[in-house]
Structure 1
Amino acid sequence: MNEILQLKGTFESSKFKGGGAASLPKGQKVEVLHIRSLISQLVEIEKFWHNHTDIKGALVSVHYDRVVAKSHRIKELLKESGKSTNSSIRGSKFEHHNGNICHVFTHFISLEALRNTIDLLSEIERYTMSYFNGIITNDEFIQISKNGIAGSNYKNYRLANAIIDCFYVSYFDIDTDLKESPKDSIVTIYKTGVDSIELLQSIGINLGKMKMLDDTTFHLKKEELDILKQSMPYLIAMSVSDISEWNKEDILDNHYDEEIMTIPDPTNEPTIGVIDTQFDKQVYFTKWVDSRNLVDSNIEIRPVDKEHGTAVCSIIVDGPAINPNLDDGCGRFKVRHFGVAIDGKFSSISVLKNIEKIVKENTDIKVWNLSLGALLEIEENFVSPEGALLDRLQNEYDIVFVVAGTNKGRSTKENMKIGAPADSINSIVVNSVDFSNQPASYGRCGPVLSFFHKPDVSYYGGDVDKAIDVCEPLGKWGRIGTSYAAPWISRKMAYLIHKMGFSREVAKALLIDSAAGWNRRDDHTFRVGFGIVPRKIEDILKTNEDEIKFILSGTVNNYETFTHNIPVPRDEKGFPYIARATLAYYPKCDRNQGVDYTCSEMDIHFGRVMERNGKVTIKAINNNSQGDENGEKLYETNARKMYRKWDNVKHISEKLNSNARSKKVYGAGNWGLMIRKKERLDDNAGLGMKFGVVVTLKEINGFNRIQDFINLCRVRGWLVNKVDVELNNTIYDMAEQEIEWD
């Protein structure tokens, strides 16, 4: 087996050089009938908001004719003076129209901006009828772009942008949420010109501090939500049930006397955080668990309320001793356990408040296990409050959540969607497989927001033929469920971060890369994720002798972060390899942006360095040329499908087949890596964001070329470190020893 290599060196960076001039898509046109229709819609919307002055402005939903890239969102229509239209976006969703998925963005603007848009479109409409017979083709568009409209007060670029906006916009509307609300809910309203508390008080709804999750999200009783829907239905951005109910996993085996289980006292082992139901301090490993009950003191804690939390902790502390067939080589872990719920139902808003407080007060914990999940399916157009909180905490703190993929009952429909908080994008979401490596019978599926691949990975959670053994208050039991798959992944992440010293970005990339291998499992069913994580930690930290696996990590501070200086060994025919690469990062997310949830994008290009049109470029292994000069121009839907645009995990790979051939050598024979950063909003949220990349090169003839690679890298100025598992464990043990001074 070859050791994994860490390459440390200098990345270069460059700023965005700007795009080309705006234009209509080739062969397309804008007709005056469409412009008139948009004007008519905006006039009706203006009348509505003149009669409804409670929000001191206007909410306007822009319905597009497709999934649009940021560059194709409206730039001039609904524009506030001196501001970008991005700044007025308050939410986004998908709708199905004529068999296609289309974007809908909701903007909050002033009535002045609304009137200005009507006037602008009216001038374009009159000019189009007078001079272009009611049709603007590319020729007419170019004429307006260059010469403007005679006598108009509007600048040429504003007229041009408005015409392009008309091409992509299908219609304008005021969207409302009138769906039935059967129970208490967590409601998010659009951010407007009036404080949320003041706005709701005006219709008789009084919010106390305990009911508020943030400035626009709060708990409402059913009767309060009904009042809001009757008075201001246009104000509701999203609502979900507040009372979460979770599926308890099945018991398969009878317990037996736990006295046979023993464990030494803890010493310097890493600590994993667990947020779950209560913990029973009578179990044999109780010294390994620092348990804290955060449930209201007025609520009685029953024995059944301690089963789930205790079982999860037992796997994290001593899973390999309880399940020798799943010995991962990671050793034991201490647990800091927080009991935030009892068996059955719990209030989401109460758990959310507890989780934020827990993380803020325990910043030394890097890996958190969360095996609680809602029975209800996730929503199509927005992330749950629970998932959004986990994403925000992971962006703000250097932590990672490992989340169970949630379970379905045996009588539940086949393709049941996962439940909150398994829709957290930054978290590692874990589904279960049985011991035959098949998706578990109780497994639920993604995707999230019709796009994000969830779950991320799968692991052994037992099934009807064979369970996972856990320790509960009354002894040892056989359980099945994603709750018992997730802790095994928490153990591996904690090992990679604490004992191997990897960043969370690198650790996540390693984990997903090991699950994907050369035959990734994620498919249209969205049940397995990228694949099944190997049982043994050494199978993540070492690779075959015909493979070179190396790690690159860095920070993005510009549009492009790159190196063209990776020296890959070659033979007389060229580069005898197939390659794959996995990228992981933790972007800022914004729940109020709906389906456009992740604020920043990293686009990965890895492959041979070559010259094209007098400029250096990378011939990516997945043929990705987005952003290259004269590169591929794609509709947003295709960019997401082909290159996972906006996803925070990218796994690109060439196919492993028997007739693979050596690759051509270009120029100096270097390989390169480029990360291109893109932003959805105008706040540059991705500045300083860290990334981790794991690259694997497989020699197609079976030769071991790792030493040649090491030598070449060192000559090129790279600092090359071998990931020595035993040495890193020794260093960790020495670093954690307490020194007694005389």
Structure 2
Amino acid sequence: MADSDFPVIRFSPRQQDNGKTPGGGDKANVSWLLTGDELLTRSKHLVSEIDELKANWDETNIEGLPHVLKVDLIEKALANTHQRYIVPMFIVGDNTGQIGFSGDTSLVIKIDSKEKLETVKNNLADTNKNAAQISALTAVQFYVPTIKPKTKESPYKLNPLNFGDDILNKRAVQIIADALNSKDINYNLVHYTTNLPVFKLDDVTSDSLKFIKTLPIKSAEPLEKLTNPFRSLDGLPLKYKDKITPFDESTDYPIIGLLDSGVDKNSLTEHWVTRGNGCQYSDSELNCAHGTYIATLLIHGDNFSDTHDSSIRGCEIIDVPVIPANGTDEITLINNIRTAIKENSSIRVWNLSISLDGEIKSDEFSDFAIALDEIQQTSNVIICKSAGNDPSFYMKQNASHLSIGAESIRSVTVGSLNRNSDPFDYTKKNFPAPYSCVGPAPSSLVKPDLTHFGGDLFASKHNPTDRTDFKEVSDTATSDGFKLIHKVGTSFSTPKVAKNIAELDLLTHNQYSPLALKALAIHSAKYYETPNLDTQQRLNTLGYGKPDNAGIALFGSSYSSTMILEGNLQKGNRIDIMEFPYPDALIKNGRYTGKIKVTLLYDPILIANQGAEYCQSNLEIRFGTYDKKMNATDYMRRFNPLKRDDSFNTLLKSKYGKRKIEINARYANERTLIAYGQKYHPVKKYAFDLAELRDSYLSSLDAERHWFLFLEGHYRLFAEKEALQKQKNLSTPFTLIITIEDPDQSAPVYNSTIQSLDNNNFVHNTVEINNRIHLSNRV
């Protein structure tokens, strides 16, 4: 049981915990190196492709712009260390080199003359000097833009190529504009983000698409549409007077910005809801049913449904409608969102429960997601984004992939799980809701991040086969202020997570960054389904689970401690805490014990036009024990004078026994032991019990050993190159949360942790809690 006497502990690394990162990267001894005839054959193939490019050079020329190539790599050569020696093969003087990444395995290269292309050819012919580079490459071709065919009446968008040079980019935009004008094609030039201009074309024919394909563009595709998200249903007579949460001016409430269809003013929303600045529509242009349902769910939902989904009854809402009754397109929507957040700068948590019609790609992040990421970074806010809904379950099919925008890295993407089971075992309690869209995001990133109850769909008979065989139950709110209705969807699980995060913000006096608030929510999340889904199913459908109420997430017990470390790790630096304050109270029978939960979130460098390599920074974490400190070697002493001997990383999944995990079923709802590393994944979470270690590793827990915590940043080659050009220093803001608990609920872990922090001279304090709030739901 959470107890306010044992709040989260904030601590900072000491001076001696800060070290330097030595340089690295070696192309020798790659496992995929070709030799002999295989190497010669690959070289001849690549050389012949260069000859073909030279033969077609003039007919593909666009005056004033370099040519653009697509260079395909084998999957094993994608590591940053390999790209460091592959990319220079294509750097031949000025105006050459990498400008982007396409899909999962292709470099996008610019080169401005046949003479320079000849130099590249010579590089690819030199099997003695460049064997590893040649082995890594499979094809070199002219870049061909992705053109999606016209399938419906919809505006198109053209994405210009980004040449990594402002002058060339302006030239490309002008060339596209001139070409469209010459064909009398009407367009508007708009911006998704600062560096992502888009041409919006209202009328496109099949013939014009052939012409468009010759322009300096990355892609051309129909604009995704957005329709008003609410389907009205018959409701129940509204009897709510004894269930309304009265507004109290002397009480602080969580505040959420609502990016939706608008909220009607009625007796349930007055005092609670304020129309924010920046709305682009008049009241007559709005259909507020969807937004009103969400607003009443946030304010009165626990009372109406007799649930405990939040810690605080009531919620203040800043309502900024971003979608009119007749729907809109993705470009208009993102500009409405940007304006709304900019014009209401005091709001830190926003809810976005509307989805574009399409689903995400597997190898590339959408413009919409990229724009949401930029907005959140620029405005320092959190957007909680619905995962999207799919009716395929009506046809006994699995839900489709996430809706476009739900792969936004900085957003908190929310799916739905079932609150209860139906009599026919179609809907199972605590399992993923059948309508909730699933991940992963591109680059196998875990999305959704979290789940919550979004309303249940109950089968009304065995083997349901039609929509009429289901009924919507569970969550209750109103879309008009007159009738209560049941609704299901990720639209209604998402605001519950948004409220949870807003409550965390309120309880802690706004002293945590949005990154830390997101980390607290993810850290508290658990799984509840029985029997268990396998790890990948869980992550794809439930993310990291359902978060605890804010009133629980911030507190522990005498048998546990939660520590939070925030920082901004500069490139070339590392944190290596060799006296991590693991509580001595958990030494039992000569060995360390404990259930441990580690959550690391970092704010990554994100660069558009990089395909699957959109995320350009990584933060590596190791946490475990070691035998003793030793002096570093002469070379390493320049960076760090000491090193650890016999380090053991407890975060490695391979160190735990499957049989022991199966026996320890009581920890199933917490456990998140996924493959270690998760490179370029901005959320990393591990939850495990030391009792599950394989017997062969138990000596690593001997009481004589010491605990360490290690953090180090890594950056992709493109981010490093761009930082060098712009003379910027790379760094990674992060939040790390570690909970250590006694499985037996007997040892004084909290006090022992405080004592260990003091004994090792760590600066630390506990979070201050806002006492102007009434925590009504602590369970």
Structure 2 length as normaliser, TM-score?
0.78
1:218 is aligned to 2:220: no
Whether the aligned pair in 2 keeps the contact of 1:394 and 1:586 (CA below 8 Å) is no
**What's the CA shift string for 1:308-349, capped at 9, x where partnerless?**
111122233343333331252234331111101034632111
Q: Which residue of 2 aligns with 1:504?
A: 514
| Alignment deviations for residues 664-721 of structure 1 (CA, whole Å, 9 cap, x no partner) | 4579743222221111222458834321111122334442322122112112122333
Whether the 8 Å contact between 1:382 and 1:591 is mirrored in structure 2 is no
Output aligned runs, 1:617-628, within 5 Å.
617=644, 618-623=647-652
Measured in 2, the distance between the counterparts of 1:444 and 1:313 equals 23
SS in 1 for 2:770: helix
Cα deviation digits, residues 575-602 of structure 1 (max 9, x gap): 1224220111222322311111112111
Could you tell me whether the CA contact under 8 Å between 1:189 and 1:236 is conserved in 2?
yes
**Residue number in structure 2 paired with 1:357:** 339
Q: 1:62 aligns to what?
A: 71
Indicate whether 1:181 and 2:147 are aligned.
no
- How do 1:199-218 and structure 2 match up within 5 A? 199-205=175-181, 211-213=190-192, 215-218=196-199
Q: Taking structure 1 as reference, are residues 251 and 710 closer, same or farther at Cα in structure 2, changes over 3 Å only?
A: farther
For the residue of structure 1 that corresponds to 2:769, the secondary structure is helix
Q: Which deviations, in whole Å up to 9, do the C-alpha atoms of 1:156-183 show, x marking residues without a partner?
A: xxx4xx4322111111122422431323
2:475 to 468, 491, 508: 468
CA distance in 2, matches of 1:359, 1:196: 31
Equivalent of 1:170 in 135, 138, 141: 138
Report SS of the residue matched to 1:75: helix
Which of the residues 107, 116, 121 maps onto 1:105? 107
1:443–1:667: structure 2 CA closer, same or farther, 3 Å change rule? Answer: closer
Cα distance in 2 between the residues matched to 1:567 and 1:211: 53
Change (3 A) 1:226 1:371: farther
2:33 alignment partner, one of 25, 28, 33: 28
Which runs of structure 2 are paired with 1:548-697 in the superposition (5 Å)? 548-559=561-572, 560-570=574-584, 571=587, 572-611=589-628, 615=632, 616-617=643-644, 618-623=647-652, 642-655=676-689, 664=700, 669-680=705-716, 681-682=719-720, 683-684=722-723, 687-697=730-740
For the pair 1:38 / 2:28, whether they are aligned, the reply is: no
Per the TM alignment, residue 462 of structure 1 is displaced from its structure 2 partner at its CA by 0.6
Cα distance in 2 between the residues matched to 1:359 and 1:538: 27
The alpha carbon displacement at 1:650 in A equals 0.2
Cα distance in 2 between the residues matched to 1:48 and 1:26: 35
Q: Which moved more, 1:198-207 or 1:246-255?
A: 246-255
Amino acid at match of 1:164: A
Quote the offset at 1:70 in angstroms: 1.7
- Name the counterpart of 1:699: 742
What is the CA deviation profile of residues 271-330 of structure 1, one whole-angstrom value per residue up to 9, with x for unaligned ones?
A: 22111112212342222212148665589435xx10111112223334333333125223
**What is the CA-CA distance between 1:482 and the residue it aligns to?**
0.7
TM-fit CA distance, 1:351: 1.0
Other-structure match for 1:394: 376
Task: Tell me if 1:477 matches 2:456.
Answer: no
CA distance in 1, matches of 2:562, 2:552: 12
Tell which deviates more after alignment, 384-393 or 203-212. Answer: 203-212
The whole-number CA distance in structure 2 between the counterparts of 1:235 and 1:364 is 41
Deviation, structure 1 residue 656: 6.9
8 Å CA contact 1:599–1:686 kept in 2: the answer is no
2:770 is the counterpart of 1:709: no
- Per mean C-alpha deviation after superposition, the further-off stretch among 60-69 and 647-656 is 647-656
Structure 2 CA distance, aligned partners of 1:262 and 1:623? Answer: 48
Could you say what secondary structure the match of 1:595 adopts? helix
Q: Distance in 1 between matches of 2:592 and 2:374?
A: 42
Residue number in structure 1 paired with 2:161: 190
Q: AA paired with 1:527?
A: T
What residue in structure 1 maps to residue 367 of structure 2? Answer: 385
Matched residues in 2 for 1:234 and 1:292: separation? 42
1:14-163 superposed matches below 5 A: 14-19=19-24, 21-26=26-31, 28-30=33-35, 31-54=39-62, 56-66=65-75, 68-73=78-83, 74-81=86-93, 85=97, 88-94=98-104, 103-111=105-113, 112-122=115-125, 124=126, 159=129, 162-163=130-131
Cα deviation, 1:617-654, whole Å, max 9, x if unaligned, reads: 453212399xxxxxxxxxxxxxx954211011001233
Alignment-derived partner of residue 640 in structure 2: none
Secondary structure of the residue aligned to 1:524 is: helix
CA root-mean-square deviation: 3.3
Give the TM-score of the pair, scaled to structure 1: 0.82
Structure 1: which amino acid aligns with 2:741?
Answer: K
CA separation in 2, counterparts of 1:255 and 1:433? 27
Per-residue CA shift, 1:124-152, capped at 9, x if unaligned? Answer: 2xxx5xxxxxxx5xxxxxxxxxxxxxxxx
Q: For the residues of structure 2 that align with 1:22 and 1:583, how far apart are their CA atoms? A: 30
Pick which of 713-722 and 475-484 moved more: 713-722
Residues 374, 584 of structure 1: alpha-carbon distance in 2 compared, 3 angstrom cutoff: same
Q: Give 3-state SS (helix, strand or coil) of 1:675's partner.
A: strand
Conserved in 2, the CA contact under 8 Å of 1:252 and 1:467?
Answer: no
Tell me how far apart the structure 1 counterparts of residues 80 and 96 of structure 2 sit (CA, whole Å): 12
* CA–CA distance in structure 2, aligned partners of residues 270 and 655 of structure 1: 35
Q: How has the CA–CA distance of structure 1 residues 295 and 706 changed in structure 2, closer, same or farther, with 3 Å as cutoff?
A: closer
Between stretches 64-73 and 15-24, larger displacement belongs to: 15-24
Residues 298 and 54 of structure 1: CA distance in aligned 2, closer, same or farther (over 3 Å)? farther
- Partners in 2 of 1:549 and 1:252 — Cα distance? 47
User: Is 2:502 the counterpart of 1:458?
Assistant: no
For the structure 1 residues 654 and 284, does the alpha-carbon distance in structure 2 shift closer, same or farther, using more than 3 Å as the test? closer
2:211 to 230, 245, 258: 230
Asked if structure 1 preserves the Cα contact closer than 8 Å seen for 2:351 and 2:495, the reply is yes
> Cα deviations across residues 432-464 of structure 1 (Å, max 9, x unaligned)?
111121211211111111511111111011112
Which residue, out of 433, 438, 449, partners 1:445? 438
Change (3 A) 1:310 1:487: same
2:222 maps to which residue?
241
Rounded to whole Å, the distance in 1 between the matches of 2:433 and 2:601 is 26
**Equivalent in the alignment of 1:264:** 247
Contact 2:648 2:700 in 1 (8 A): no
Shift of 1:210: 5.7
Tell me if structure 2 keeps the 8 A contact 1:188–1:236.
Answer: yes
The count of aligned residue pairs is 669
- Sequence identity of aligned pairs in percent? 19
Following superposition, the deviation at residue 398 of structure 1 comes to 2.0
1:488 to 484, 488, 496: 496
Asked if residue 434 in structure 1 is aligned to residue 415 in structure 2, the reply is no
Q: Flag the 1:20–1:334 CA change in 2: closer, same or farther, 3 A.
A: closer
| 1:202 aligned counterpart, secondary structure | helix
Kept in 1: contact 2:226–2:330 (CA 8 A): no
How far does residue 524 in structure 1 lie from its aligned partner after superposition? 3.4
Distance 1:507 1:337, change over 3 A: same
Q: Describe the SS at the equivalent of 1:464.
A: strand
Residue 414 of structure 1 is matched in structure 2 by: 398
CA distance in 1: counterparts of 2:207 and 2:342, whole angstroms: 35
* Alignment partners' CA distance in 2, 1:70 and 1:463: 45
Return 5+ residue gaps in structure 2 as ranges. 420-428, 459-472, 633-642, 655-673, 775-779
> Is the partner of 1:486 in helix, strand or coil?
helix
Which residue is 2:638 aligned to? none
Name the SS of the counterpart of 1:23 in structure 2. Answer: coil
Is the contact made by 1:505 and 1:586 (CA closer than 8 Å) also made in structure 2?
A: yes
CA spacing shift, 1:553–1:211, aligned 2, 3 Å: closer
Q: Partners of 1:406 and 1:306 in 2: how far apart?
A: 19
The one-letter code of the counterpart of 2:451 is S
Secondary structure class of the residue paired with 1:353: helix
Correspondence for 1:144: none
